[in-house]
Structure 1
Amino acid sequence: MIHVLFVCLGNICRSPMAEAIFRDLIKEENLGNHISVDSAGIGHWHVGAAPHEGTRAILDKNRISFEGMLARQVDSSDWDRFDYIIAMDQKNMNDLQAIREKNGVTVKKFMDYALDADETDVPDPYFTGNFDQVYQLVTEGCLGLLNEIKRNHKFKEEI
């Protein structure tokens, strides 16, 4: 089982959006027995909160479930539980590296997987209000990450 963790600042906008989209892609490709996904925030401000109303609205508009998602804070045990820890921007990346690094865990910036995008960071819609732009970037990055995981890990087809 491959375990993926998306990380943003507060775990109410970008990382839960990525978790929901990635979970939807995994379901579409029938890879639920091979890949799991979660999200977390650097900060503790929103622990226990549902995704931001803007994230919920864009996911609803695109018929992607966010059921059961509640914000949590990243902690050092995540390096033992996840194979991929994906930061939504450079600040989140720096914060993750300050918490802990462990060999064997892929820690990368999300936009490294969105090959056709001009952005290097996923803008925080909590501050910009542009949930549509973030949805497009996150969808592209999730597709790129899923393709990389499929290339790097051979999964047996489900019968």
Structure 2
Amino acid sequence: MKTYRVLFVCLGNICRSPMAEAVFRKKTVDAGLADRIAVDSAGTGDWHIGRPPHEGTRRLLDRHGISYEGLRARQLRPDDGDRWDLIVAMDSRNERNIRGIIGDRGGSEVIRFMSLLPERGIADVPDPYYTGNFEEVYELVEAGCERLLERIKRELAAE
């Protein structure tokens, strides 16, 4: 039985992508699919390597009862293109950076997170590091992760 592998990517890997990793991981556990879906996150930049999620992300995850234990920022590597089935960019800038870093390696599909929520009419998940609006980001992440889980469930069922 194949494990489906998902990597969320933002700029520094302390706000949006670890939030998405934690939310999506909880959803896979709640759905009984933690043994079938692997989840991680990374950043395209190297400023925060080894650091835990941003205080705003931690505070919000705590409020929603979602664990972020063990999450530490890491930088996207070229070999991530070989390791993940799906790489989810939190915005267009990072989508371009991902493609530049992994090149044509492996079979990873790269999508932008907001493509999961086309009805919202926005292309990018806003960066709360700059906006301070962690609640807005959480709302988008929650809805997008639910859609992503439904998509992956269909793919796993078709195997």
Equivalent position SS for 1:6: strand
The equivalent residue for 2:64 is 62
Of 73, 95, 98 in structure 2, the residue corresponding to residue 96 of structure 1 is 98
The alignment status of 1:45 with 2:67, answered yes or no, reads no
Of 104, 108, 111 in structure 1, the residue corresponding to residue 111 of structure 2 is 108
- Contact 1:4-1:86 within 8 A present in 2 as well: yes
What is the percent sequence identity of the aligned residues? 51
Distance apart, 1:74 and its partner CA: 0.3
Whole-angstrom CA distance in 2 between matches of 1:9 and 1:101 = 20
The alignment status of 1:148 with 2:151, answered yes or no, reads yes
The equivalent residue for 2:37 is 35
The equivalent residue for 1:80 is 82
Q: Which moved more, 1:100-109 or 1:55-64?
A: 100-109
Whole-angstrom CA distance in 2 between matches of 1:138 and 1:118 = 15
Distance apart, 1:155 and its partner CA: 8.0
- Contact 2:83-2:108 within 8 A present in 1 as well: no
Per-residue CA distance 1:86-109 (angstroms, 9 max, x = gap): 000000001011112346321000
Moved runs in structure 1, 4+ residues, more than 2 A? 101-104
The alignment status of 1:121 with 2:124, answered yes or no, reads yes
Q: CA RMSD in A?
A: 1.4
Equivalent position SS for 1:140: helix
Equivalent position SS for 2:98: helix
Q: Which moved more, 1:125-134 or 1:98-107?
A: 98-107
- Contact 2:78-2:105 within 8 A present in 1 as well: no
- Contact 1:115-1:144 within 8 A present in 2 as well: no
Using the size of structure 1 for normalisation, the TM-score is 0.94
Distance apart, 1:118 and its partner CA: 2.6
Equivalent position SS for 1:153: helix
Per-residue CA distance 1:37-89 (angstroms, 9 max, x = gap): 00000000000000000000110010000000000000011111100000000
Give the letter for the 2:24 counterpart. Answer: F
Using the size of structure 2 for normalisation, the TM-score is 0.94
Total equivalences in the alignment: 156
